[in-house]
A and B are shown apart, each in its own frame.
Chain A
Amino acid sequence: MTNGTAPDNALVLAAIEQVWGSMLFASADPWPADRPAEFGSGVQAQIELRGDWNGRLVLTCDRDVAAQIAGAMLGCGPEEVLPDLDVHDAVGEVLNVVGGSVKGALDGVSALGLPGVAPCTAPPAQGECMVVSWRDAPVYVQVVPDAAA
């Protein structure tokens, strides 16, 4: 099976900036490779793209960062603690909106899957992902093509 051209990093980053700016009231800046970051337990969201190009977008971040993202999206006060269900749902929707923007900019007709979100233990290895800032923390984003059959 051959796969079409993957969405390029600049496009994905531009979509992220748009979503950060309009839904999360934050700017998405590149995260310097040598800047240290904590990563305790994490949250990983994935969404599939099906069309000329087949693969998925993956967004990974620390659990606390995910909670902050959900809080910003929902306009929660600093004292409001969201249950995991809501944090996962919000992060999934953020990736869904990024995925839709990316899909719409690709050539040809593609379909978007539904986002899936699960806990994870480690961020992706450096060099395998783009890293953007969410306030003072990193968010890891990958464009993963389907393995060739």
Chain B
Amino acid sequence: MTISSSAFTFVRELVRAESAIVLEPGKEYLVESRLVPLARAAGHPDVDAYVAQLSTRRSPAALKQVVEALTTNETSWFRDTDPYTTLRETIFPELARNRPRKQLRVWAAACSSGQEPYSIVMTAMDTPALAGWRVDVTATDLSEEMLERGRRGEYSQLEVNRGLPATTLVRHFERQGLNWRINQSIRERVEFRHLNLTRPFPPMGQFDVVFLRNVLIYFDMPTKREVLQRVRQVLAPDGHLFLGAAEMTMGVDDAWERVPAGRSSVYRIREEQRTCVPW
């Protein structure tokens, strides 16, 4: 089952109009996989039938659902596992050797409902070299609704099933009715604030690590480049950038170099580019 090109075009134009996010050709499977649950819920046999109905009826609520399904980030804990292993085993210990003040600042740049920044805090707590350190995470997103959810730190049973080891669940969460809430000691390490990556950044200070995972894929090339250039200006000269597995800086902003780290890779600013430009 694959989505028809007319259905894909309709969805692409809808998403572009509502969010400035571009779904390139080749993203058909993404559209399909994200819309299958909506199509089934609406009683349609497949995505094409669902999109056909959307395009004739144009119900604003249904259209909004589609845009959200395609622009909302995945909400797994420790998404893809590897970046967090790398953080714990390689990046955090290395930074720990170079920060005499025993403080680290991390930016989760598209934090959605908070799983990513909280996963970073829990990873820091599991890093022996950071025992006694202060690790602060700034979590930003475009959606106020997502930021509010992140601040609350309460997740459904379905959400805590997603990639969260059971030992971590019982250690760091408390059951609240049908939901689970992440403990205060972790919540207070994350500051949630609104930020649009496509605009100039507000003053944020300097970060040691930036998570910008599975965000760039949604932007067109000039926007990708601008975002990466702006990230360079808030990253410490010896800081590290994490991108999604399918993303890269090569050919977009070549001031970055890819460095193997653990089982994956991270990005650093090239030595000769490390003169911080004030902005």
A and B touch in the complex (CB under 8 A): yes
Please state if B43 and A18 are interface contacts (CB–CB under 8 Å): no
Contacts of B158 in A (CB 8 A): 18, 21-22
Please state if B156 and A18 are interface contacts (CB–CB under 8 Å): yes
Q: Is B205 an interface residue (CB 8 A)?
A: no
| Contact pick for A135, options B37, B43, B156, B178, CB 8 Å | B43
Interface size class of B (residues with CB under 8 A): 10 to 19
Please state if B178 and A14 are interface contacts (CB–CB under 8 Å): yes
| Contact pick for A101, options B40, B43, B178, CB 8 Å | B178
Contacts of B178 in A (CB 8 A): 11, 14-15, 18, 101, 104-105
Minimum CB–CB distance from B69 to chain A (whole Å) comes to: 13
Minimum CB–CB distance from B166 to chain A (whole Å) comes to: 14
Please state if B43 and A11 are interface contacts (CB–CB under 8 Å): no
| Contact pick for A18, options B37, B157, B175, CB 8 Å | B157
Please state if A25 and B37 are interface contacts (CB–CB under 8 Å): yes
CA distance A18 to B158 in the complex (A): 8
Q: Is B100 an interface residue (CB 8 A)?
A: no
Contacts of A14 in B (CB 8 A): 177-178
With both beta carbons as reference points, the residue of chain B lying nearest to A97 in the complex is identified as B157
CA distance A22 to B40 in the complex (A): 11
Minimum CB–CB distance from A11 to chain B (whole Å) comes to: 7
Minimum CB–CB distance from A76 to chain B (whole Å) comes to: 13
CA distance A4 to B175 in the complex (A): 20
Q: Chain A at the B interface: mostly helix, strand, loop or mixed? A: helix
Contacts of A15 in B (CB 8 A): 178
Interface size class of A (residues with CB under 8 A): 10 to 19
CA distance A22 to B162 in the complex (A): 13
Q: Is B41 an interface residue (CB 8 A)?
A: yes
Minimum CB–CB distance from A109 to chain B (whole Å) comes to: 12
Please state if B177 and A25 are interface contacts (CB–CB under 8 Å): no
Minimum CB–CB distance from A8 to chain B (whole Å) comes to: 10
With both beta carbons as reference points, the residue of chain B lying nearest to A22 in the complex is identified as B158
| Contact pick for B177, options A11, A21, A135, CB 8 Å | A11
CB contacts under 8 Å to A, within B131-182, are 156-158, 175, 177-178
Minimum CB–CB distance from B207 to chain A (whole Å) comes to: 36
CA distance A14 to B43 in the complex (A): 21
Please state if A105 and B177 are interface contacts (CB–CB under 8 Å): yes
Please state if B157 and A27 are interface contacts (CB–CB under 8 Å): no
CA distance A121 to B247 in the complex (A): 59
CA distance A22 to B43 in the complex (A): 15
Q: Is A112 an interface residue (CB 8 A)?
A: no
Please state if A26 and B41 are interface contacts (CB–CB under 8 Å): yes
CA distance A100 to B175 in the complex (A): 14
Contacts of B40 in A (CB 8 A): 25-26
Question: 1/0 per residue B12-54: CB within 8 Å of A?
Answer: 0000000000000000000000000100110100000000000
A interface residues (Cβ-Cβ under 8 A, vs B): 11, 14-15, 18, 21-22, 25-27, 101, 104-105, 135
B interface residues (Cβ-Cβ under 8 A, vs A): 37, 40-41, 43, 156-158, 175, 177-178
Task: Known A-B contacts: A25-B37, A25-B41, A105-B177. Give 19 more (CB < 8 A).
Answer: A11-B178, A14-B177, A14-B178, A15-B178, A18-B156, A18-B157, A18-B158, A18-B178, A21-B41, A21-B158, A25-B40, A26-B40, A26-B41, A27-B41, A101-B157, A101-B178, A105-B175, A105-B178, A135-B43
Can you name 9 A-B pairs with beta carbons within 8 Å? A18-B156, A22-B158, A25-B37, A25-B41, A26-B41, A101-B157, A104-B178, A105-B175, A105-B178
